[in-house]
Amino acid sequence: MFTPLFTDGVWNTTFVIDLKDYCSFIRKTNKGRILSNSGGFQSTDLNLSDYQLQPLINHIQSEASFFSQVYNIKNSSFVMDNMWININGYKDYNIPHTHTQCVFSGVYYVQSPKDCGVLSFNRGYKPVMGYDWNLNVTSFNSHNAVSWFLPCEKHKCYIFPSYLEHCVEPNLNKEEERISISFNLVQSWEIIYSRVERSQGTIESTLKTK
């Protein structure tokens, strides 16, 4: 008899809002940073009070509360901790990484042209499993897959546990950029501590790169 052990998953929704002009404005006025991005542009943390972001923030916070019920989390009230923009041109990508000091993380796709890459989630024991379990399986599923791929679709929003290692594969579209907004969510009582840490110059700790 098969006994299932651990189960992880991704919450996905669709939310239609046009933030392309907002992202373009941020790129022109923001110095940017290098954390998970290889090439392309990654902004510093956005101003969560910007009116353009409010509909998206409200949607994400609401969906996170539903998602938290899967995990039987007692306090299901989640608030946005920080957000940033990723703009990836031809062959730009985001390296494998996890997020720390938050419960849920996620990404919203503002623009995703054809052949712009996929969002990839990796098992924590991928190096061992990828070597020893290089088997002749008939098809991949949640039991035998080393990585799981989700499409980068315009207006698609993915929310996932922050400990899941993930990356975004290279944008192979030579003409158009992939534009997304990434984010971290915390329970409402955690928000004070998280923002104090970043105000003290520890912003890099919100995203752990490998």
Domain assignments of the chain as residue spans, ordered by start: 11-132+142-202
CB atoms within 10 A of CB 135: 6
CA dihedral for 42, 47, 49, 51, sign (positive or negative): negative
Residue that wins the pLDDT comparison between 82 and 210:
82
pLDDT at 202: 41
- pLDDT tens-digit readout, 180-205: 999 999 997 666 555 555 554 443 43
pLDDT at 151: 97
Q: What is the pLDDT of residue 62?
A: 96
pLDDT at 16 over 60: yes
pTM above 0.85? yes
Cβ contact 157:60 at 8 Å? yes
Name the E strands within 3-101. 11-14, 37-38, 41-42, 78-88, 93-99
Minimum mean pLDDT range among 4-8, 84-88, 114-118? 4-8
Q: Residue 207: what pLDDT? A: 43
Helix (H) or strand (E) holding 178: strand 178-187
More confident residue, 210 or 20: 20
| Least confident range of 78-87, 93-102, 110-119, 134-143 | 134-143
pLDDT classification of 173: cutoffs 50, 70, 90: very high
Topology given in CATH for the domain delimited by 11-132+142-202: Jelly Rolls (2.60.120)
Is residue 126 packed enough to be buried (19+ CB in 10 Å), middle (13-18) or exposed (0-12)?
middle
pLDDT in tens, 130-150: 777 767 778 888 888 889 999
Residue 208 has pLDDT above 70, yes or no: no
Contact by Cβ (8 Å): 185, 81: yes
Which pLDDT score is estimated for 143? Answer: 86
Residues 23-81: tens digit of each pLDDT: 999 999 999 999 999 999 999 999 999 999 999 999 999 999 999 999 998 877 899 99
